[in-house]
């Protein structure tokens, strides 16, 4: 069947085109409305702001009242307390420590009377005189005494037979005292065996009487010690 309607008279032919144009205009107007600015532009790309200067605020001048400091307190009166001195002070008497010549002489005399002591052979003033050392010079009497002692030991030495059989040997230390009368007293021995000690005691006990040693011109006791060696050949 053939349509009798003129195609130019069809109103719905371009409705979609008109709809698109209308939609475009609506969107364009909306975009321009959003982008529209209502402040004044000075032509340089930034906005001039009018800010009031608040730093010029006038501050009222107030007057500062200075109060004077309080006066210092009056000085306290000095109170002087009087203390009665009732304590008795003992006077210290300083005696002189100087001694006169008479007191010194008395002290020396007392010391000389108390010379009842043992004076070692090494420090005694006058050593004991072994018989045969009387004519020797005083400076050599000490050496003469020791030499005579060694000669006496060699002359009277005898090795104990029991010690020889047992093979005992060693050194015996002997200590004795030359008394004020020149006799030998206080013999003491110390060694490795009693038989050797007994023989050493026998040798020393055979020493002759001597001239006693003197200290400050007075006889004194003089201790002396000597070692005796027992050695098997």
CATH number at residue 165: 3.30.2420.10
Residue 163 lies in a domain: yes
In terms of residue numbers, what domain contains 157? 117-230
Distance CA 9, CA 191 (A): 168
CA–CA gap between residue 197 and residue 171 (Å, rounded): 9
Strands (E), the chain: 170-178, 184-190, 214-215, 218-219, 222-230
Residue 157 lies in a domain: yes
Sign of the torsion formed by the C-alpha atoms of 180, 185, 186 and 192: positive
207 within some domain: yes
- Evaluate whether residue 138 is within a structural domain: yes
Contacts of residue 22, defined as CB under 8 A and 6 or more positions apart, other chains included, come to none
Nearest CA among 220, 224, 221, 228 for reference residue 197? 228
Q: Is 52 a member of any domain?
A: no
Cα–Cα distance for residue pair 219/119, rounded to 1 Å: 10
User: Is residue 96, in this structure, part of any structural domain at all?
Assistant: no
Decide if 88 is inside a domain: no
* Cα 193 to Cα 171: distance, rounded to the nearest angstrom: 9
Total number of domains in the chain: 1
Residue 175, classed as helix, strand or coil, is strand
pLDDT in tens, the chain (233 residues): 555 555 555 556 677 778 888 888 888 888 888 876 655 555 544 444 454 555 555 666 665 666 777 777 777 656 566 656 555 656 655 655 555 555 544 554 444 454 578 999 999 999 999 999 999 999 999 999 999 999 999 999 999 999 999 999 999 999 999 999 999 999 999 999 999 999 999 999 999 999 999 999 999 999 999 999 999 87
């Amino acid at each position: 069947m053939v349509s009798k309607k003129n195609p130019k008279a069809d109103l719905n032919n371009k409705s979609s085109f008109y709809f698109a144009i209308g939609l475009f205009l609506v969107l364009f107007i909306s975009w321009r409305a959003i982008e529209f600015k209502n402040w004044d532009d000075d032509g340089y790309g930034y906005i001039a702001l009018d800010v009031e200067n608040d730093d010029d605020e006038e501050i009222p001048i107030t007057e500062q009242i200075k109060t004077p400091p309080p006066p210092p307190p009056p000085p306290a009166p000095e109170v002087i307390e009087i203390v009665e001195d009732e304590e008795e002070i003992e006077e210290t008497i300083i005696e002189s420590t100087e001694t006169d010549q008479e007191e010194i002489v008395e002290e020396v005399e007392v010391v000389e009377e108390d010379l009842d002591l043992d004076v070692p052979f090494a420090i005694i003033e006058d050593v004991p005189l072994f018989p045969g050392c009387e004519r020797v010079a005083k400076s050599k009497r000490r050496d003469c005494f020791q030499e005579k002692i060694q000669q006496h030991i060699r002359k009277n030495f005898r090795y104990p037979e029991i010690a020889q059989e047992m093979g005992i040997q060693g050194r015996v230390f002997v200590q004795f005292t030359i008394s004020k009368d020149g006799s030998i007293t206080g013999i003491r021995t110390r060694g490795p065996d009693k038989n050797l000690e007994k023989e050493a005691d026998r040798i020393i006990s055979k020493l002759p009487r001597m001239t006693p040693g003197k200290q400050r011109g007075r006889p004194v006791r003089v201790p002396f010690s000597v070692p005796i060696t027992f050695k098997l050949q």
